[in-house]
């Protein structure tokens, strides 16, 4: 593949992965009447963990107690992040939920940044959130907003936990073990909410489809793309998540957004791109998590 075609093809793979991720989230919303949000969280984590364990075949022995504490914390954060995200999805449009959730890693980027530019991106993100509200706070369920904000905080904690586990456990091993722990943590909540519905083969098949679309396919495509794209370009493309979520919500779930809400989403995307670009200028040699064999790739969210 040519040098020109390589990056373009890689960018296309990232965008396809984002689209699959949001289609998976849309399928999850369609399952809420049968399983509830916690039921589908359990199914997603369970199937994702099974696939990762088969692919990675991690070692269960040989890890120190300190390393296991890091992995367990990572798994619990992962389960919490997914649980809060789907609880928010039950009450908010997909695009709005993803936009609020993106504030977590965006805030982390701004806090760790230096210089006056970070206040510009913070102000832009805040303006975007205000615009979301100006589009009609009466349309935004308060509890749903709290769940989405909790998912945002969890995503920031997930990034920090992912880095710690990456230093302690080989790349896929750490993510696979954490995913298994997250699935175990989600089991009682999912069973309590979904009950005997989980015994239906059609529900299990759809839950597996959500896991594949939301996790497996984006994960694989991002892994390929990371070999051909600079870290900054990859991160900028990932910042388009709220846009792809809004599109999926409109096309698959019939979720309409006002122009002010669309504008708010655009401002948050612009703030994310600005923060990523500024970080790339400060550390041109920095690589996305996963480019180092000792760091796990991020589990796709959404």
One pLDDT digit (tens) per residue for the chain, 302 residues: 444 456 678 788 888 988 998 899 999 999 999 999 999 999 999 999 999 899 888 888 777 888 889 999 999 999 999 999 999 999 998 888 888 888 888 887 777 666 677 777 778 887 877 777 665 555 678 899 999 999 999 988 988 888 888 777 776 788 889 899 999 999 999 999 998 999 999 999 999 999 999 888 887 787 777 777 776 677 777 778 888 888 888 888 888 877 877 888 888 888 877 777 766 665 554 444 444 444 444 555 55
Task: Give the angle 220-222-227 at the CA atoms, nearest 5°.
Answer: 105
Report d(CA 156, CA 146) in Å as an integer. Answer: 15
Report d(CA 209, CA 105) in Å as an integer. Answer: 27
pLDDT value of position 44? 93
Asked if 230 and 285 count as a contact pair (C-beta separation under 8 A), the reply is no
pLDDT value of position 6? 67
Find, among 180, 173, 208, 165, the residue nearest to 69 by Cα.
165
Neighbours of 211 (CB within 10 A): 23
Asked if 168 and 70 count as a contact pair (C-beta separation under 8 A), the reply is yes
Tokens of 31: 């399952």
Q: Which residue matches tokens 């991160």? A: 235
Report d(CA 43, CA 24) in Å as an integer. Answer: 12
If DSSP codes are grouped into helix, strand and coil, which group holds residue 251?
helix
Asked if 19 and 248 count as a contact pair (C-beta separation under 8 A), the reply is yes
In sequence order, which residues have a C-beta less than 8 Å from that of residue 180 and are 6 or more positions away? Answer: 49, 52, 53, 75
Tokens of 62: 């040989």
Give me Rg for the CA atoms of the chain: 19
Helix 65-89 to helix 94-112 angle, to the nearest 10 degrees? 140
Report d(CA 198, CA 72) in Å as an integer. Answer: 26
Asked if 25 and 248 count as a contact pair (C-beta separation under 8 A), the reply is yes
Neighbours of 299 (CB within 10 A): 22
Tokens of 245: 């979520």
pLDDT value of position 281? 62
If DSSP codes are grouped into helix, strand and coil, which group holds residue 227?
coil
């Amino acid at each position: 593949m040519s040098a020109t075609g390589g990056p373009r093809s890689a960018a296309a793979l990232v965008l396809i992965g984002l689209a699959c991720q949001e289609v998976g989230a849309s399928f999850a919303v369609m399952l809420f009447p049968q399983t509830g949000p916690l039921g589908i969280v359990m199914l997603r984590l369970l199937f994702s963990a099974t696939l990762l364990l088969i692919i990675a075949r991690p070692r269960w022995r040989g890890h120190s107690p300190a390393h296991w504490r890091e992995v367990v914390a990572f798994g619990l954060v992962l389960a919490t992040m997914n649980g809060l995200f789907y609880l928010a999805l039950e009450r908010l449009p997909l695009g709005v939920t993803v936009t609020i959730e993106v504030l977590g890693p965006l805030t982390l980027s701004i806090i760790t940044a230096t210089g006056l530019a970070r206040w510009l991106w913070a102000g832009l993100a805040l303006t975007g959130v205000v615009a979301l509200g100006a589009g009609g706070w009466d349309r935004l369920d308060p509890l749903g907003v709290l769940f989405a904000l909790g998912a945002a905080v969890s995503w920031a904690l997930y990034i920090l936990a992912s880095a710690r586990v990456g230093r302690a456990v080989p790349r896929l091993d750490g993510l696979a073990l954490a995913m298994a722990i997250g699935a175990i943590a989600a089991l009682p909540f999912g069973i309590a909410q979904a009950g005997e519905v989980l015994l239906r083969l059609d529900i299990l098949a759809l839950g597996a489809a959500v896991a594949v679309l939301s996790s497996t396919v984006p994960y694989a495509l991002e892994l390929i793309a990371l070999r051909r794209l600079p870290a900054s370009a990859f991160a900028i493309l990932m910042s388009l998540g709220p846009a792809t979520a809004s599109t999926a919500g409109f096309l698959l779930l019939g979720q309409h957004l006002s122009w002010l809400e669309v504008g708010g989403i655009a401002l948050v995307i612009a703030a994310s791109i600005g923060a990523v670009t500024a970080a790339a200028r400060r550390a041109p040699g920095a690589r996305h998590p996963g480019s180092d064999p000792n760091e796990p790739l991020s589990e796709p969210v959404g």
